[in-house]
């Protein structure tokens, strides 16, 4: 039998590439496992949402343990409003945030850029290839809340894809009622329970603010619960006492940055004064510490 010999240099390159891929996969798997372990009811993970590599590195330098992308914050970097980013853009952005720091990163994938379960699964499979530790799926199509049965099927497809590969992504399933003028606690809990049954690892109903409502969700669902920090949300210590496992900020930090920029611009334009330079000096110190560590 004839034997095809592979040149030594080609053989070394081939095995080296496989080793690098295996190492990257092992690293991503370790980050995903560590990310799930950070979800401790009563001791919530504080997870900020950077909007670019620089903000990710600043937040990491402050001591946060995990990060999540923000669809609205990323859209703003492109000069767009939330809901206007494509799947390819969102996944490329997720890879940028992953590469910016060693921290676990979860991606805000909106409705996974698909209405049908097969499209959802494809999005999550693609997301797993970016090095992410987790991702989210919401039950709002962009125009309406999905029918409960279809919403659960979509979560099941996302969970199967998230948990199928060598990196077990932490899947967060979101019930969007309260963000879209449907403040129905019973329906929200029923949806979250169905998402847990479908395989979601973390549950999230953005817009919940009343302590009694948060307590009811935490008590009912049997999974780690994320709460969105926004105006009216209880402080972290109270959320911890309610049994919350994770607190995220959505696009709030990106909005804070935009407001600071506009404030500095208005000062220069309207009054011609330079008071913003005091804050600029503090910002340079923050960047120097974050970008040289």
228-246: pLDDT as tens digits: 999 999 999 999 999 999 9
Residue pLDDT, tens place only, 136-180: 999 999 999 999 999 999 999 999 999 999 999 999 999 999 999
Query: Using CA atoms, how far apart are residues 53 and 114, in angstroms rounded to an integer?
Result: 27
Q: Which pLDDT value is given to residue 18? A: 58
Q: Which pLDDT value is given to residue 63? A: 98
- In this predicted model, which residue has the larger pLDDT, 109 or 13? 109
- Helix boundaries (H) for 173-266: 185-197, 211-221, 236-241, 252-266
Residue pLDDT, tens place only, 232-290: 999 999 999 999 999 999 999 999 999 999 999 999 999 999 999 999 999 999 999 99
Look up residue 271 and give its DSSP letter.
I
Tokens 């070394």, residue located: 12
Q: How many residues does the chain have?
A: 293
- What residues are paired with 136 via a beta bridge? 108, 172
Percent of the chain with pLDDT over 70: 94
- Token pair listed for 289: 């510490």
Residue pLDDT, tens place only, 194-222: 999 999 999 999 999 999 999 999 999 99
- On whether the CB atoms of residues 247 and 226 are closer than 8 A, the answer is yes
Q: DSSP labels for 14-79? A: HHHHHHHHHHHHHHHHHHHHHHHHT--TTS-EEE---SSHHHHHHHHHTT-S-EE--HHHHHHHTT
Query: Using CA atoms, how far apart are residues 186 and 188, in angstroms rounded to an integer?
Result: 5
- What residues are paired with 67 via a beta bridge? 105
Residue 37 burial (CB < 10 Å; 0-12/13-18/19+)?
A: exposed
Can you give the C-alpha Rg of the chain in angstroms?
21
- Give the model's confidence band at 1: pLDDT under 50 very low, under 70 low, under 90 confident, else very high: very low
What mean pLDDT, rounded, does the chain reach?
A: 94
């Amino acid at each position: 039998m004839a034997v095809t010999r592979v040149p030594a240099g080609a053989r070394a390159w081939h095995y080296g590439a496989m080793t690098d891929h295996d190492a990257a996969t092992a690293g991503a798997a370790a980050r995903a496992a560590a990310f799930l372990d950070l979800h401790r009811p009563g001791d919530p993970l504080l997870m900020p949402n950077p909007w670019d590599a620089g903000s990710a590195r600043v937040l990491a330098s402050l001591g946060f343990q995990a990060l999540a992308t923000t669809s609205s914050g990323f859209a703003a970097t492109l000069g767009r409003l939330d809901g206007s980013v494509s799947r390819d853009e969102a996944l490329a952005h997720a890879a940028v945030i992953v590469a910016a720091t060693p921290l676990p990163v979860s991606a805000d994938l909106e409705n996974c850029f698909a209405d049908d379960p097969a499209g959802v699964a494809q999005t999550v499979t693609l997301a797993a290839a970016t090095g992410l530790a987790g991702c989210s799926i919401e039950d709002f199509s962009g125009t309406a809340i999905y029918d409960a049965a279809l919403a659960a099927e979509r979560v099941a497809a996302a969970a199967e894809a998230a948990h199928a590969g060598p990196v077990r992504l932490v899947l967060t399933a979101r019930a969007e009622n309260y963000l879209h003028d449907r403040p129905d606690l019973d329906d929200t809990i029923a949806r979250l329970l169905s998402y847990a049954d479908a395989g979601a690892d973390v549950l999230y109903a953005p817009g919940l603010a009343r302590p009694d409502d948060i307590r009811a969700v935490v008590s009912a669902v049997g999974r780690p619960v994320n709460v969105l920090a926004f105006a009216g949300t209880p402080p972290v210590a109270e959320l911890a006492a309610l049994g919350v496992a994770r607190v995220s900020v959505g696009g709030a930090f990106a909005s804070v940055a935009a407001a600071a920029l506009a404030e500095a611009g208005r000062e220069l334009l309207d009054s011609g004064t330079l008071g913003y330079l005091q804050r600029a000096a503090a910002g340079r110190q923050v960047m120097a510490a974050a970008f040289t560590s």
